[in-house]
Structure 1
């Protein structure tokens, strides 16, 4: 059975707390495992969450501030230690190439796995060999170059059982129709369009360190699951703008305008020991489902529309 869920490995911003590890988010999408922003301690958080290095197929780093990338050395070395048999694709801002190389080769280890580097120079589609989805990066606004990521599943086609019955299609004929798009039945041709309906593909968006900009809205548009930083509350909006971050209210307003189905708030400043304010602030602007992320929580992708 396919599995689509977000495993939250850490929810802190620059400074971790007793209850919040540095960032780390593992998106399980059918047979894929996309690890976003592995901050310090990610390898151990994966152990606590029951996630293995073998399940990682892609790593995506939004930017090279330490709370989003200092766990990369341990993750890379664990991938090699476990002799992960498949290639792992790594995405990151091209302007941070020197940082990626330092992190990837932070200490001595025996390389056994293939890690394919995909430095990002600007917004646009990303190479995603073998993936059942399209992956793209969108530039954000932060003191250092930062990109958000969006995963888009192509629309599919669902066969309508009542139409199959009406047209006398059953058994092997249905299989032919699915494979070839058409089938001959009783001297007539039936096409898949006659018995099917569009099944919208699902979307996931990851928006990390940024102030409000066009890229935030672009990433969030139509997302079934939006993971978005909400470092501050509106009372500290000036700080958010100065340091290139969002408030919970800003994140919620973006989600509402974009038609998001499930909103996940994360990346919380240590100045807020209690996150009830984030939930209350977001709820004033977004009437969909809101998840205030907690370390080691699992957040399912909503069922198809």
Structure 2
């Protein structure tokens, strides 16, 4: 995910380095590696990503965020083969119910192993209103002065602007429905969420700590998400099941729904 000029890689599973190449991305575009939990399909790509960052001599800091309870697994993954390690990658294990590394917030989910969901939150700002700026004679470089100083020649920022909530996105993988799922998704512009099963397997989903497409749609609906992206489908379903996932989600959530595929590009919807 590209967010405010930085690249976030969530849950690098097996083959992630190869997928980066197919997507036309380089290791220098990564600034964060975020692992939700240490089941293999969410982390076995870590060795390749780490070694690529080291081999490419990426100079900027790359923050690695992961459950602290999985430190042993992280160590094994980071040092899975002989290579010259890099101090560029800094480790930020998270623990407890909630952890914050702005602009990222991690919240503990409900899964057989400790798992965290992530939320990206842009700071709130203000939207300048051209007609009010003209009314008060604020033009050119003075607009920036007003934004930075808050007042200029008796004109306040509030007189020429309105509040603009910061944009937000949530990445929620393996979990049952729980309070933190809804907290992470609250009001987000983009919700990327697992929908491992269809509703016919709801009991199985709950037993194994997963969501159905209907569960994911319920989260989007009750949280007021603007765009819902379904992902992490069980291998039992083929591509012919995509319309069924879409149908089940749309029966609950009347917003924008996307069934994810490899190398698909999804935009964070712009604010009105």
What TM-score do you get using the length of structure 2 for normalisation?
Answer: 0.97
Residue 200 of structure 1: which of 165, 171, 181 is its match?
165
Greater per-residue helix proportion:
2
- Provide the rounded CA distance (Å) in 1 between the counterparts of 2:72 and 2:99: 23
1:84-108: CA deviation from partner (whole Å, max 9, x where unpaired): 1101001000000000000001011
Q: CA deviation at 1:113?
A: 4.6
Instruction: Tell me, yes or no, if structure 1 residue 271 matches structure 2 residue 236.
Output: yes
- Provide the rounded CA distance (Å) in 1 between the counterparts of 2:79 and 2:165: 42
Residue 248 of structure 2: which of 281, 284, 291 is its match?
281
1:190-243: CA deviation from partner (whole Å, max 9, x where unpaired): 111111111111010011000111111111110100000000001011110111
Consecutive unaligned residues of structure 1, counting only runs of 5 or more, are 1-26, 129-133
The answer (yes or no) to whether the contact 1:79–1:113 under 8 Å persists in 2 is no
Residue 174 of structure 2: which of 206, 209, 221 is its match?
209
The answer (yes or no) to whether the contact 1:87–1:115 under 8 Å persists in 2 is yes
Name the residue aligned to 1:20. Answer: none
Name the residue aligned to 2:206. Answer: 241
Q: CA deviation at 1:178?
A: 1.9
Q: 1:118 to 1:166 in 2, by over 3 A?
A: same
Q: How does 1:216-235 map to 2 (within 5 A)?
A: 216-235=181-200
Residue 56 of structure 2: which of 69, 79, 82 is its match?
82
The answer (yes or no) to whether the contact 1:226–1:260 under 8 Å persists in 2 is yes
Consecutive unaligned residues of structure 2, counting only runs of 5 or more, are none
Name the residue aligned to 2:271. Answer: 304
The answer (yes or no) to whether the contact 1:122–1:137 under 8 Å persists in 2 is no
Q: CA RMSD in A?
A: 1.0
Name the residue aligned to 2:156. Answer: 191
Q: How does 1:67-216 map to 2 (within 5 A)?
A: 67-128=41-102, 134-184=103-153, 189-216=154-181
Q: CA deviation at 1:114?
A: 1.1
Aligned length: 270
Q: CA deviation at 1:173?
A: 2.5
Higher RCO (C-alpha 8 Å, min separation 6): 1
What TM-score do you get using the length of structure 1 for normalisation?
Answer: 0.86
- Provide the rounded CA distance (Å) in 1 between the counterparts of 2:50 and 2:231: 24
Q: CA deviation at 1:174?
A: 2.2
- Provide the rounded CA distance (Å) in 2 between the counterparts of 1:243 and 1:231: 10
